[in-house]
Structure 1
Amino acid sequence: MLTELPIRKIIHVDMDAFYASVAQLDNPDLKGKAIAVGGIGRRGVISAASYEARKFGVKSAMSGSLAVKLCPELIFVKTDFERYTSISKKIRSIFLDYTDLVEPLSLDEAYLDVTVNKKGNPSASKIAEEIRERIYKEVGLTASAGISINKFVAKVASDYNKPNGQKTVNPEEVIPFLETLEIRKFYGVGKVTAEKMYQKGIFTGLDLKGKSLEFLDTHFGKSGRYYYNVVRGIHNSEVKPNRIRKSLAAEQTFSENLSSEVFMMEKLELIAEEISKRLTKNKVSGKTITLKIKYSDFTLQTRSKTLPYFISDKHLILDTAKDLLYQEKMTNSVRLLGISLSNLNTETKKVPDQKSVSVQLKFGF
């Protein structure tokens, strides 16, 4: 039962249209306008879109050419990861004023465990409000937040009142909240899985809850148990401030399709150089090199090789990528190449004990 689980006070903070909002912050003339970050050029892909652009159906991972068809007045701006990283650090410093248990998921979102916090505030909802106010005053951007007993429900709740809002799901409200939720709103249920669930008669959390563990295991494999548990409010993953990076990658989409391995090697050299810089910056190295190839017909292929030693040197990465490139004959011209390193030499670090603390729970959320 839900009451038998460790009850924590978890906040999920998610910045509102982060990349696009930063562009509007830096250039006031862009405020209130439909803008897209990235997507520049005939083959460009959009990284983020402002809420004004989203009203037209423009979204991340969409081609710039399609976005313009949907929104002719769309304004494109370049990505600026140095700026995003700088602002992300300021936001994270605000989080750390409240708790050391901060788990960043990306530059624009993070989990916070405030069961016990530095302010001695028993209300996670009040803490979330204060954090959002500080982000707006000190950084100039808006954020949304979800507050609940575990990471899953907090993540789902943070999307509930976007933008610039928050949603608290108290312990006694978790099950009713999940039962009425549309299945596509469940974190971890993507478009393909949602379509499969629709075919099985699963449209809401209540429908999902009505399926047995055996049924879900049969039709959804290893994810079956996850779906069975989360719809019952069971998600015991702790907030891990020392989240371990599992891989590091770099890739490039080309303005013209490449049909010759000679030209591909030139591009791979630049990609290998970029990933080597990132590995050096993060002070990590890896054993498994994966070459990602996307063909002109959009089919995707990956080729991997695991070495007996860790590497981060550009030349060693390139040599391995070259072997993978010539491993088999190309089936078509290529529109994208990427290299990733996994099986990294990062060590698991101990995370502070996060057992539920009853002394604050009686004061509610």
Structure 2
Amino acid sequence: MQMDQRKQQILRVVVRKYVATAEPVSSDYISSSSGLGVKSATVRNEMAAMSEMGYLLQPHTSAGRIPSDLGYRYYVDRLMPRDPQAVRQLPPMETGLMREHTAVDDLIAATCRMLSAVTHLTALATTPLASGIKLKYLDLQEISGGRILALSVWSNGQARQAVLDAPVAGNLLGQVRKAVCTAYLNRTSEDILNGACQADLQPGPATVLGGRVREFLEHAARDVSLPEVIVDGTGYFVRQPEFREQPGLELVLSVLEDERTMGQLLLAAGAGEKPQVVIGGENPIEVMRSCSLVAASYGSWSGVRGSIGVCGPTRMDYDRSVSAVGLAARALSSALDALLPA
């Protein structure tokens, strides 16, 4: 069974009506407002078929239908308008940003405030991705039980440590320490993650410890390079009817406050210039599967880059959200170009 034009129009109406009202959409409403020219009994049959196909859900036996994650995905990919109408309805961002803010973090925070205000969703943005962070200090010390304490300090002031299981001690530990320091000190996090550093060690226990030090430094390099996340408008979550009755609201808010988790999600979703949409169950974090994320990348000629987007219930206005995120990313990029030297 395929999504013919009638089913597509029904899905279009269901998505838009449910987004606007948060109430299941009845066959009577679709029959009278969809322009299909068919009776409600025909619409009910079509909706039943679409439910079997996975595009619609029926919350209660006597209720109408609401979109499923698959239904939202079909709408976003195939039915959502691609014209600039939604963009024309949004307030200008770029002029105000360049006129009122002269610091990068202030620009990003101001863009988030504007984006949250025009979408009525929680806006998030990463601060620029750090580059050129160097490993400034590395030490390996033997502790009890044949374990090694590894400590790294980086040029941005962050430190990371870990306990490594490796039965290496005495002179051999000193040799490994010297070799890994020679290989990794003053190298950038990018060098370490790209495998550009290699310690010169003899095969055997020293090589085993050297490999574990490399893994420790790769994890630390990835961790210290993560950007901060600026969040604005978390109050919009509380106002959504979906979350008034769900005990999961506190869990969602706790994830939004977790900079490491949200930074990774935002950077993954907003890797491209065009806004990308992550819907419900597509989210890798279980407690966020009642939410959707729309994100895009921003950047300047100077090399500053990051991601910006909005997060809200799966019942979000995707037309407006995608347009607004794209506009915000472009406005922020232009403002950064004007602020920062190439």
TM-score by length of 2: 0.22
Bigger RCO (CA 8 Å, 6+ sep)? 2
Greater per-residue helix proportion: 2
Q: TM-score, normalised by structure 1?
A: 0.21
Greater fraction of residues in strand: 1
